[in-house]
Structure 1
Amino acid sequence: MSINFNHTIVAAKDKKASANFLTELFGLPDPVPFGHFLTVTVANGVSLDYAEVPGNAQIHPQHYAFLVSEEEFDAIYGKIRERGMQHWADPRGNRPGEINRNDGGRGVYFQDPAGHYLEIITRPYGSGT
């Protein structure tokens, strides 16, 4: 049997706002209710299941990286810039307003409404030229 990553739960103060942020920014289908989750499924079948945390609970930011095509990168990065969203070329935020060219591709980091760090890359890490 091969092992595949199937889903992860993403904590949010407002699951609808966070799930809609991702689907709109990435051009994905609308989130689908599943129990008390709002589910967003990406092309390889992995789902991000958004769940609201209790009112005063703290969300610990996580990192979610997405491999995208060059065309998808252009579309997503265009929306990031149009919206004036903070973004960085590096995970520590030392290169604000920039993208990186790691492994011969392009990448950028930004945050979702819950404070999670999202990353889009056009080449997998270690595939470099």
Structure 2
Amino acid sequence: MASMIHLDHVALPAREPERAARFLARVLGTQVAADDSESAFFNVSLGADTTLVYVPVGEVASHHLALRVDGATFDAAVAMLHATSTVFGNDPETPDNGQITDPRGGRGRIYFSDPEGHFFELIV
């Protein structure tokens, strides 16, 4: 019997949750919102009722998140990374090479870090 599993949210630690959330939302062209008026949690909408939540902590261990995106989102993310002088690349070993072609044969793949040091991968 097949079951449906849907990712609701992922929590990432951040020293500056709002700054990190605003950066990622800008790169992805999506929305950011405080969890509620008294919370230090900041939510980045990933669509389809999925949210990435930056939560405040004192120390951050880097996490890797791979997101599959459509072509328009990918192209806009690359443009935004260029505009913000954020290094990126298509190889996790040299994520500053500025390349966007997918070494695995897809249309595109990039790696970049957010202000907290989390390592993101966008795949189209």
Report TM bin, short chain.
Answer: 0.7 to 0.9
Same amino acid, percent of matched pairs: 26
User: Residue in 1 aligned with 2:55?
Assistant: 51
- Secondary structure of the residue aligned to 2:32 is coil
Give the aligned partner of residue 73 of structure 2: 72
SS of 1:31's partner is: strand
* Secondary structure class of the residue paired with 2:112: strand
Q: Which amino acid aligns with 2:73?
A: E
TM-score of the aligned structures, taking structure 2 as reference length? 0.85
Q: Which runs of 5+ in 2 are unaligned?
A: none
- Counterpart of 2:92 in structure 1 is 91
- Residue identity in the other structure for 1:52: P
Worse-matched range after superposition: 7-16 or 95-104: 95-104
Cα offset for 1:103?
A: 3.4
- 1:62 positional shift: 0.6
CA distance in 1: counterparts of 2:47 and 2:117, whole angstroms: 24
Q: Measure, in 2, the Cα distance between the counterparts of 1:11 and 1:100.
A: 30
Q: What is the number of equivalent residue pairs in this alignment?
A: 119
SS at match of 1:108: strand
